[in-house]
Amino acid sequence: MTGITLTGAYGGFNLGDEATLRAVATLFGEGGGGIEDVIVFSRNANAILDEHTRSGLVFSDFANLLRTIPLVMRSNLLVGGGGFVQGRGLLWPFSYISLLIVANRLAGRRPVVLGIGADRPTHAISRCLFRHFFGLAAVITCRDAHTASVVEALGIPREKIRVTADFAFALKPPDVVRDRTPGQRLRALVVPGRDRKYMAPSTAAMQSVLRHLTAGAGAGPEVIVMPHDLRDDYDLGEIAGICAGIPRDRVTVVIPRTLSEALDLYRSADFVVSNRLHPLILAAVYGAVPVAAAHSTTKVRALVDALDLPSLGEPAGTSARLAMLDELTADRIASLRRALAPRVDAMRERARSNRDLARQAWGESPAG
């Protein structure tokens, strides 16, 4: 293997994207395992999290097409992870990624698109771009069955489509899960999500969750609130709204500086409440019990079904729904963890199969 060019929504803003990058880089060797050259194109190369700059990866801002196209034409292109097919999106990210796929294919390569999520685009131009340009890929793997059905309906031949799992499932699980001593308070991690383009409004529901968890001084769990997307217009800006009216001594807000800091919080939590996909996945991978706060997107609904996760359902803010949080005792959490473990292991293997499918498409041995 001479090299891999990765492209995705990387750049230090969204911790799910950074988790995807870490998982992809780990699966494909982080510069080892026969890979001589790994170039990562990001939306903000200068803002990439520091830990990645020490991993042997080379970063380039994908705004520089004059640099991007030659690199793509001399290495294997891997379009990795993320919601590349958005229901309400128009030209982004279709336009940029389509150019990369075409350039890679013209150079005689076999580009692969791995671990994507999809909702059927409402714009005809988006559907056309996907069918004609993404159809040039040798293989397209989908993180769930819903995505696979959308991709096929958009005109991609069934023989090119595989259902695997989200790349984040391939992250190395922790060696030790936090144990609780008798009488020790549980730790709840609340990760709100706000994406005005692609997520249904859920501020009220997440605020109800936080108020319920913090009601009753000292009796409930230790509550930590953390953003998943670090931009003010997204999750970071949501935190002020859901924390309004909550006594400061009953909730701790943590803004992680790196992906590793965020993963440490997942590792230390007993359960994680979120309306976002990747916080629920990271909770499961790092030993916490994921609780879906609201079925805000198709991908969250698919994950809840696949892992049989506890869910507050819709509407999430009703007292009957919130009462389920009171049932999360130490014994109940231990039971849920045991039930969840084999399902997460199965998803991990499916996520790892993305690598083998890519290497087969590139004409390499899957075990190479």
CB 167 within 8 A of CB 351: yes
Relative to beta strand 38-42, strand 4-7 is parallel
Q: What is residue 63's predicted lDDT score, i.e. its pLDDT?
A: 59
Q: What is residue 343's predicted lDDT score, i.e. its pLDDT?
A: 97
Phi, psi of 293 (to 5 degrees): -75, -30
The Cβ of residue 88 has, within 10 Å, a number of other Cβ atoms equal to 11
Segments in the chain below pLDDT 70: 1-3, 7-9, 11-12, 30-65, 83-95, 176-182, 195-201, 217-218, 296, 314-317, 365-368
Where do the domains of the chain lie?
Answer: 4-172+347-361, 187-328
Q: What is residue 220's predicted lDDT score, i.e. its pLDDT?
A: 85
* Domain 4-172+347-361, CATH among 3.40.50.300, 2.160.10.10, 3.20.20.100, 3.40.50.11820: 3.40.50.11820
Closest by CA position to 311, among listed 299, 324, 298: 324
Q: In what order do the strands lie in the sheet with 252-253?
A: 252-253, 222-225, 187-191, 271-274, 289-292
Q: What is residue 244's predicted lDDT score, i.e. its pLDDT?
A: 85
CATH architecture, domain defined by 187-328: 3-Layer(aba) Sandwich (3.40)
As given in the structure block, the two tokens for residue 243 are: 């924390």
